[in-house]
Chain A
Amino acid sequence: MRILPLRILWIILLAIPALAPAQADPANELEALKHELARMRTDYESRIAQLEQRLDAAEQTGTSSQPDNGQANFSPGTESYGNMASTGDRGNSGFNPDLGVIFHGQGWSYSNNPDDYHIPGFPLGGEAGPVPEGLALGEVEINISANVDDKFTAWLTAPLVIEDGEAGIEIEEAWIETLKMPAGLSLRLGRFFSNIGYLNTHHAHSWDFVDQPLPYQVFLGSQYLDDGLQLRWLAPTELYFELGAELTRGEGYPSGGAVNSGVGAYTLRARLGGDLGFSHSWQAGLSYLHADSNDRPAGNEDDPYLFSGDSDLMMAELVWKWAPNGNYKQRNFKFQTEYIHRNEKGSYGLPDDRLLPWNLDQDGWYMQAVYQPVPRWRMGIRYDTLSSDNPAMDFADTALMPGNSNPKRYSVMADWSNSEFSRLRLQYTQDRAGDKDDNQWGLQYVFSIGAHGAHSF
């Protein structure tokens, strides 16, 4: 990911307040103000006249129906000047755009050396793998969003990160989306988390565990993120039914190299969902990702395994949520499971400079359950695992040869949220993915300030 210097962020942040007044032309503004004042006055006058009439009427009915109980003591709701704007405002703050900052820190302790972490048969790519041991700032995520005009809305997620001791800013998501396309369609352009699977669109601060499950780490490099365009269609039916397709650059893992002149991958997706009574709701989906890659690196950064060829991923998801009467604040339960199958066909360039043909099926799945017994406290369990066919014997003694047993992990977590804006979490994972079992302890905090976020299902 491209890192911009921190001072560019400062320039952006400092420029925002300066931009707003700069847009208005003083002469026009004065004219508009005068006009507005005149309008307000006539509006007020008619309103006061109306109110007087109503007061008279109220006094009359008051005296006629109940002569002696002081009707006038009751406070009638009064119309506000908000009423003058006949259409509502969205009014999150007087400041456009909405600005939110999420502090997302984590600290890990491992019984094995995390630098040696590997999963036999699955060299890691993208952002997969353990974060460095010890306490760390993690990410400070800046979210900026606003409607551009009546037809477009824009979103920016830019984490501030420390890499090799240097502070920098990344562009995680930056997209614009249509608001007014007809026929239940919408189009998104820019850089975004692909809409495949269930967890892929969820930002790290909204995960129920500190890290991603194994299938996401090995098959999607933690999360599939790329530049491109996304089309969604929502059916006008009682049952939630959505179709989606994306065309992307083909640079984010599991694609690589931006082949086909920079249109290297596409995705397709169908999703269904609904309620069962007031207490249960569900969502199920199928997605497909096709990526064309050229020299996609995985494994050791200095000595990578380079894959060139076609990746085909099939994903299935099921999410079920329960809360008594649908009252989530008091008590709720969430179950989710996903399955990913990957076929890759092409060739591998090995660190020892051999180039060998490759055609292999691999898959993995996870399931997790999170329960909130009382407000603010939640606990969860998760199981995730992978399996792989055996490649040709040429790959013996390489990172592409799977181990004798399937990689798997067991995790438990507990978290506490003082309010909607704060969360502290402790997680324990027994990792049986490598040659030697690893006991991992994770601590995480997520705090958010600024604009009140809205979360997807």
Chain B
Amino acid sequence: MAHIPSDRIGKFMRKHIIPGLVLLFLPLVTEAQLRVFACEPEWAALATEIAGDLVETSSATNALQDPHYIQARPSLIAKVRRADLLVCSGAQLEIGWLPMLLRKGNNPDVMPGSEGYLEASLQVNRLGATGGNDRSQGDVHPEGNPHIQVNPHNILLVARALAERMSRLDPPHAGRYASGLEQFSQRWSSAIDRWQQRGAVLRGKKVITHHKSWIYLQDWLGLEEMATLEPISGIPPTAGHLGKLLNEFRDESGADFIIRAPYQSEKASEWLSNRTGIPAVMLPLSVGGSSGASDLFSLYDDILDRLLNAGKQ
């Protein structure tokens, strides 16, 4: 074996090994920020709006993923292990993977029931609770529909709970969380006024939705849901069901929009749109769901832009 001079080993150590080890254990050293693990991107965005650089946020899902169906990936288990606060929509949206992350994450601080676990949908009045639990009606949500983020008033309610929770977990910065909430609430309330002015013309419009992802938006703007492209909740659109819808909505007079989320296949809504003339609209369901929806404010701007533009055509 060739002799390797010890100074070369030392140099190699200095250049590669030591920086590598430092990088590996850096997360252990920089403990300054509160680590917020959001199940959905809207809650990560909300934490940043309120707390700015006091928090380090990450989201388990992005807006191009159906949050009910992601995998309990190793990277997410590692994130749960290091989190100080979990913020999730709840109402069984994450039931297929979050319990597994919690079981494998070995982090007592974020277990359900602890300070570090916040279920956003518990902060608002949940709509669409089926009460019963008969799955022949689809993958129903007995505790209510979990897609609460598309009524801006709900965002404000969750913001209050989130700010309170962050200041309890990080008391030295309680003042900054309170003032962050105050500033956000003011900006958000005036944005709501603006959105409601713009959205007033949408009142009473009839919508067909891909999945029941929009009932809070419908409730807020006063939209009327005529049908869903899914035959029952959670079952992808079938040819038979679409044929029935085509019979029901022969032309564009039956409804004003066909709405889908970015993670739902466009095929079904385009098919029905092409045959009926009802415009198909993709609406971002969360931050990052469209190129326009880069934060919570532009999310609502973009939803309204898209609905109002489609209405003009």
- Could you list which residues of chain A lie within 8 angstroms of chain B, going by C-beta atoms? 61-62, 65-66, 69-71, 73-80, 82-83, 85, 87-93, 150, 153, 177, 179-182, 184-186, 232-242, 271-275, 278, 281-283, 321, 325-330, 375-376, 418-421, 449, 452-457
User: Are the CB atoms of A150 and B153 closer together than 8 Å?
Assistant: no
Measured between C-beta atoms, what is the minimum distance from A97 to chain B in Å? 13
Interface residues of B in 90-147 (CB under 8 A from A): 90, 92, 95-100, 103-108, 111-115, 117-119, 121-126, 133, 135, 138-139, 142-143
Q: How many A-B residue pairs have CB under 8 A?
A: 212
Measured between C-beta atoms, what is the minimum distance from A75 to chain B in Å? 5
Do A454 and B97 form a contact, CB below 8 Å, given A69-B197, A73-B203?
A: yes
A239 vs B135: C-alpha distance when bound (angstroms) = 38
Measured between C-beta atoms, what is the minimum distance from A2 to chain B in Å? 27
Which residue in chain B gives the minimum CB-CB distance to A150? B113
User: Are the CB atoms of B193 and A61 closer together than 8 Å?
Assistant: yes
A333 vs B236: C-alpha distance when bound (angstroms) = 19
Measured between C-beta atoms, what is the minimum distance from B151 to chain A in Å? 5
Highest count of chain B CB atoms <10 Å: which of A74, A186, A325, A454? A74
Contact of A275 among B73, B96, B118, B125 (CB under 8 A): B73
User: Are the CB atoms of B111 and A180 closer together than 8 Å?
Assistant: yes
A299 vs B66: C-alpha distance when bound (angstroms) = 48
Interface residues of B in 174-204 (CB under 8 A from A): 189, 193, 196-197, 199-200, 203
Question: Which residues of chain B come closer than 8 Å to A61, judged between CB atoms?
Answer: 189, 193
Contact of B74 among A65, A150, A274 (CB under 8 A): A274
Q: List 23 A-B contacts (CB under 8 A).
A: A66-B197, A75-B222, A77-B157, A78-B125, A79-B157, A88-B122, A177-B103, A181-B106, A181-B108, A234-B78, A234-B105, A240-B78, A271-B74, A278-B62, A281-B74, A321-B71, A327-B69, A328-B65, A329-B69, A330-B66, A330-B263, A419-B235, A454-B97
> Which 5 interchain pairs have the tightest Cβ spacing?
A273-B74, A88-B119, A240-B74, A77-B154, A82-B122
In the complex, B32 has a CB within 8 A of chain A: no
Do A452 and B74 form a contact, CB below 8 Å, given A75-B222, A184-B81?
A: no
Contact of B72 among A83, A327, A456 (CB under 8 A): A456
Contact of A454 among B65, B75, B95, B123 (CB under 8 A): B95
Question: Which residues of chain A come closer than 8 Å to B82, judged between CB atoms?
Answer: 236-237
User: Are the CB atoms of A74 and B118 closer together than 8 Å?
Assistant: no
Segment among B213-221, B250-258, B275-283 that sits at the interface with chain A: B213-221
In the complex, B64 has a CB within 8 A of chain A: yes
